[in-house]
Amino acid sequence: MVRETFHKSLRHLLEPIISLKYGIDLLVNEEIIWFYPRVSVIIADWPEAATYCLTYKSPSSNIPCHFCLVKRENLANINLKPDDIMPRTHENMSYNYHQNSGKTVCIEPILNFFWEIP
C-alpha cells in the first residue's frame, strides 16, 4: 500500500508537467521563452531507487539491481560481456508487470507511474 500510494502521489505531483504536451511560454527578463518541462534525472540512493523503480529492496533478491537484469551471483563478475547485461527498461518492466511475470524480474506488482511518461 505504501508503494502504491507513493506512485499515486508522484502522478499527482508530476501530472501538470506531463499534461503540457506543447510546452509553456515563460516571461524571463522581458523575453518570452518557450519551455518544455520534463523529468530527466532523479538522484537517489539505492533504497530510493528501488522505491522509484519498484524493484525488490532486498539485496538478497535474485535480481537486486534497479539498472539491469544481472542475477545477484553475477553482479561482481567482471567477465560479463555487454550482451550478458540486459538493462531494465520501461518497456521490459511494463511488459513483465502486464504479463504477471514481475516476480521473474523482481519487481513489485504495482503499476509504475514512470512507464506512462513518454
Residues contributing to the site for Zn ion (CB under 5 A): 65, 67-68
How far apart CA 56 and CA 112 sit, in angstroms, is 13
Least gap, CB of 105 to Zn ion (angstroms): 12
Is the CB of 68 or the CB of 111 nearer to Zn ion?
Answer: 68
Is the CB of 13 or the CB of 75 nearer to Zn ion?
Answer: 75
Is the CB of 36 or the CB of 67 nearer to Zn ion?
Answer: 67
Least gap, CB of 26 to Zn ion (angstroms): 38
How far apart CA 70 and CA 64 sit, in angstroms, is 8
Instruction: Kindly report the backbone phi and psi dihedral angles of residue 117, in degrees, each rounded to the nearest multiple of 5, phi listed first.
Output: -80, 125
Q: Name the residue with the smallest CB distance to Zn ion.
A: 65
Cell 514481475 belongs to 102
Least gap, CB of 73 to Zn ion (angstroms): 13
- For 101, the grid coordinates are 511475470
The DSSP symbol for 54 reads: T
Is the CB of 11 or the CB of 72 nearer to Zn ion?
Answer: 72
Q: How far is CA 11 from the centre of its chain?
A: 13
Least gap, CB of 52 to Zn ion (angstroms): 15
User: Which residues make Cβ contacts (< 8 Å) with residue 50, sequence separation at least 6?
Assistant: 56, 57, 66
